[in-house]
Amino acid sequence: MKAEIITIGDEILRGEIVDSNKARIAERLLLLDVETHFQVSVRDHPEDMRHAFRTAADRADVVVVSGGLGPTRDDRTAEVIAATFGRKLIVHGPSVAAIRRFFERAGRPMADTNLKQAMIPEGAEVLPNPVGTAPGFTLRAGRARFFCLPGVPRELDRMLEEQVLPRIEADRAAAAGQGSGRVVRARLLRTFGIGESDLEALVSDIARRPPAGGVEVELGFRTSFPDNLLRPVVRAPSAGEAEAALERLCRELRTRLGALVYGEGEQTLEAVVVRELARAAPPTRPGRPPAWLAVAESCTGGLLAERITSVPGASAVFRGGVVAYSNEAKRDLLGVPADLLERHGAVSDPVVRAMAAGALGRFAADLAVAITGISGPTGGTPEKPVGLVHIALARSGPTGTSVDTASFVFPFDRARHRRLTVQVALDWIRRALLGVDLALPRWAPHARGGTAQPRAPAAGSTGGAA
Amino acid sequence: MKAEIITIGDEILRGEIVDSNKARIAERLLLLDVETHFQVSVRDHPEDMRHAFRTAADRADVVVVSGGLGPTRDDRTAEVIAATFGRKLIVHGPSVAAIRRFFERAGRPMADTNLKQAMIPEGAEVLPNPVGTAPGFTLRAGRARFFCLPGVPRELDRMLEEQVLPRIEADRAAAAGQGSGRVVRARLLRTFGIGESDLEALVSDIARRPPAGGVEVELGFRTSFPDNLLRPVVRAPSAGEAEAALERLCRELRTRLGALVYGEGEQTLEAVVVRELARAAPPTRPGRPPAWLAVAESCTGGLLAERITSVPGASAVFRGGVVAYSNEAKRDLLGVPADLLERHGAVSDPVVRAMAAGALGRFAADLAVAITGISGPTGGTPEKPVGLVHIALARSGPTGTSVDTASFVFPFDRARHRRLTVQVALDWIRRALLGVDLALPRWAPHARGGTAQPRAPAAGSTGGAA
């Protein structure tokens, strides 16, 4: 099955917005193993739209159209698709009623133009929109089945899930003869701290496993800096078998990869950290969650705090942070001794250790992370090159404070240096909460042209009282 | 002139990346008044690529192709475009030499596969790539002129600017008869603090001005949350006239709009703030730049510090910040009196005022901004709704400290609430450094469906000793 995606809107063609709908539709279709061969965007102009619809009807089996279903004059998808394939536009009674109900529920007056959204090409099947006014529709033209959907991401997502994917699956089952179709199920495992080729090597035997009992397994890999993502895909004769096999496969992969897997799907590392903090019972207050976190940042300049506080509910676990961009701030707000700064410099193991211990104390936290480094583009020396970063994790325990530290040289530009450094810091917090080793076992980041080198002391625990 | 953009790459079609190249190319073409009618993405498959190239050659005048010029087996643009239009692939000697030089300069060994990048369709003109190994090329096919460029954004940008746009301009001048073509010049003015319709109203007489002396003026408007952008476009008989007229027009617009315009083109507000801090001579050390900045953040959680420190060189002007996510942090790290927190709550005018004064003192800064608010999604009360935010700006002067404050209710989701709040804070710093009023004169943010209301006391100065 070949798919084509068509998105409609002048603002896309003028480059005013980066259209992410094409990627989200393609990703969903791939869950059913349907590959997108063409992505096309056109203006709200009937001639261009007609050209795109006709071309797609000739070369694709599934065409997903997004946009152009709104109430304004510029929204022309229904009208143009009807004209392109020689159909009339008709009023769809149930959609008129649904649109009226939508406005009643919202307590807003309905404009007459909204009724335009109930005009559907003759013979099309209406796809209800549970979260907006514009219904979608599906019709067959040329070799293709068209699905016309609204461009609002929330509405698009819901309708893809509920209306489009099941129909594609049913079409395929019907084409293959009742009941004999193949069902595909997939998930996405997010890993951090391992390079793409090392990740592949760790699971290569699973990827090469031959089909058994009609169940095939495939592993996909991709990089989303600084993470590496693993996509297990299962094909089986029935949905039940596919789901059971996928569940078994994911359990096996998680057992194999251990703490390298931090989450699934769209989960972020900061969301996992906030969740684990909320669950944790710190050793100084056993049985009384949550654990409290504080941070001290120099070169990452607030990015670590920002990532954590972007998670709703972070205020229950996050006490605060200091962005210590000057030596004086490190001294006055974190209590780093002036002579440490003088003797070792701001980017050093003793200073990052003192920053973490200082943050732990000042914020009365259970865990504190500190970062100091040189993100560039300037500021390096032969001994302390651009890219050098020290990270420390301090924990308060019943017998005092322990601090782990490590340093790295990350040879990336300023923005990616900061992103990668923050990801290491978040991962350390997660690992500390899970009670596993902080060390990054197979560190080889995955960005093109870059390799990170653990610096002596290599990413290891140097725990002890601070 | 009709343009079509074709981007190539399996990862785009699988939805693994959101392809922003299409938008950046479209935006550049529009600078020359060339409208993009179709954007197409295809996999690295010869058949699909051929189909896309042939379709574009029939319907567009300018076709910009990005991607598929790298050294790997999957990079097939040159080979497929040659085959599609019946040309041979030939080795381009000067490109071989340029690729060798590139690797020598980088001190890296050159793989044989890199020589593939010097294979060009016969009759094509080579477009040199000053920042990478893959040269581009241009050729004519069907009604169109094709420009094939690498997909790496940095290389793409540079080659669009230096190689593609001048050739399109020359083609157009030639088509219109030597010297009689129309030349277009455009710029982008970035504004903050005014709604789109208010902005339009302020300059509507200029937008309606009739052509004079062969010079036409057009004003374009668009929103890039939370900013509004104004694009003056000038069409004139010659480049000299167009540039002079555009310069006059921009001066007139800047005079009319005053401090509402914070920058041009791709400039960010944080870059402007860092630049102005570096230039400023604070009143307590007259004649001795820079001015030092500190911040205290609650609901924005480090985003303000992160934005500032994302600018290279920020360390010369930024002393640091406190992310005071708990009452204790506001008290212990910023010196906010406990009774203020108790009597007025953390989200209040007295507390934000004390936070700003505290940051000013603790970091020995010349300027300090403080933010406290409720970004949601929960945590509101009838009196202090979700979306409420207090902002304060403290300045140290020869006669003591003055603090300005205001509060707003921004009815946006958590992420946009934080972005908008930080933009107001950055804009206040900029306005303070320029010596203009902090008040937002025509506040009506520009996001669809949302309106911000200034709350009493409306965005005004309440200066005084703190």
pLDDT at res. B316: 95
ipTM of model over 0.90: no
The DSSP code sequence of A425-460 is HHHHHHHHHHT---S-TB----STT---EEPSSPS-
Q: Are B398 and B284 in contact (CB under 8 A)?
A: yes
| Residue B402 β-bridge partners | B395, B465
Over range A444-448, report the average pLDDT: 34
Higher-pLDDT residue of B64 and A221 is B64
Q: Is the pTM of this model over 0.90?
A: no
Report the CATH fold assignment for A183-264: Alpha-Beta Plaits (3.30.70)
Report the CATH fold assignment for A269-454: Maf protein (3.90.950)
Helices (H) and strands (E) in chain B, counts: 16, 19
Residues in chain B, pLDDT under 70: 176-181, 439-466
- State whether B37 and A48 contact (CB < 8 Å): yes
- Cβ-nearest to A38 among B20, B40, B325: B40
Higher-pLDDT residue of A458 and B263 is B263
On chain B, the residues whose CB falls within 8 A of the CB of A315 are 325-326, 379
Q: What percent of chain A has pLDDT over 90?
A: 59
pLDDT at res. B257: 96
Model confidence pLDDT, tens digit, residues B144-200: 999 999 998 889 999 998 899 989 988 887 776 654 567 778 888 999 988 777 888
**Least confident stretch, A366-370, A452-456, B241-245:** A452-456
Band of residue A450 on the pLDDT scale cut at 50, 70, 90:
very low
Nearest residue to A160 (alpha-carbon basis) of A263, A285, A64, A42: A64
The DSSP code sequence of B323-365 is EE-SHHHHHHHH---HHHHHHH-SSSHHHHHHHHHHHHHHTT-
- Give one word for A117, left, alpha or beta, with left for phi > 0 and alpha for psi -120 to 50: alpha
pLDDT at res. B167: 93
**Amino acid found at A379:** G
Q: Tell me how long chain B is.
A: 466
CA distance A15 to B230: 15
For testing the chain A interface, which of B11, B41, B222, B317 should be mutated: the one with the most A CBs within 10 Å?
B41
On chain A, the residues whose CB falls within 8 A of the CB of B309 are 300-302, 323, 325
Nearest residue to B35 (alpha-carbon basis) of B66, B65, B5: B5
Contacting residues for B102 by C-beta, under 8 A, at least 6 apart: B132, B133
Model confidence pLDDT, tens digit, residues A28-69: 898 777 899 999 999 999 999 999 999 999 999 999 999 999
**Amino acid found at B340:** L
Nearest residue to B275 (alpha-carbon basis) of B253, B303, B308: B308
Q: Are B269 and B351 in contact (CB under 8 A)?
A: no
Over range A350-360, report the average pLDDT: 97
- State whether A23 and B11 contact (CB < 8 Å): no
- Give one word for B149, left, alpha or beta, with left for phi > 0 and alpha for psi -120 to 50: beta
The DSSP code sequence of B389-451 is EEEEEEEEETTEEEEEEEEEE--S-HHHHHHHHHHHHHHHHHHHHHT---S-TB----STT--
pLDDT at res. B181: 62
pLDDT at res. A148: 98
Q: Which residue of B has its CA nearest to A12?
A: B23
Question: What does the domain layout of chain A look like in residue ranges?
Answer: 2-175, 183-264, 269-454
CATH code of the domain made up of B2-175: 3.40.980.10
What is the count of residue pairs from A and B with beta carbons less than 8 Å apart?
A: 238
Does the pLDDT at position A448 exceed 70?
no
pLDDT at res. B178: 53
Cis omega (within 30 of 0) on the bond before B377?
yes
Q: Which residue of A has its CA nearest to B60?
A: A48
Model confidence pLDDT, tens digit, residues B261-287: 999 987 899 999 999 999 998 988 888
Biggest CA–CA distance in chain B, Å, is 82
CA distance B74 to B43: 10
pLDDT at res. A439: 63
Does B2-175 match B183-262 in CATH topology? no
Q: How far is CA A229 from CA A24, A28, B165, in A?
A: 16, 16, 38
On chain A, the residues whose CB falls within 8 A of the CB of B40 are 38-41
pLDDT at res. A447: 32
The DSSP code sequence of B107-165 is T-PPPGGGGGGGEEETTPEEE--TTSS--EEEEEETTEEEEEE-S-HHHHHHHIIIIIH
Top-ranked range on mean pLDDT: pick from A80-94, A105-119, B4-18, B434-448 = A80-94
Taking domain B183-262, whether its CATH number is 3.30.300.30 is answered by: no
Q: Are A314 and B325 in contact (CB under 8 A)?
A: yes
CA distance B466 to B461: 13
Measured from the Cβ of residue A449, the count of other Cβ atoms closer than 10 Å reads 7
- Give one word for B379, left, alpha or beta, with left for phi > 0 and alpha for psi -120 to 50: left
Over range A318-331, report the average pLDDT: 96
Q: Are A311 and A278 in contact (CB under 8 A)?
A: no
Per-residue HEC secondary structure of B178-218 comes to CCCCCEEEECCEEECCECHHHHHHHCHHHHCCCCECCEEEE
Phi, then psi, of B247 in degrees rounded to 5: -60, -45
DSSP A386: T
Q: How many angstroms separate the first and last alpha carbons of chain B?
A: 62
pLDDT at res. B15: 83
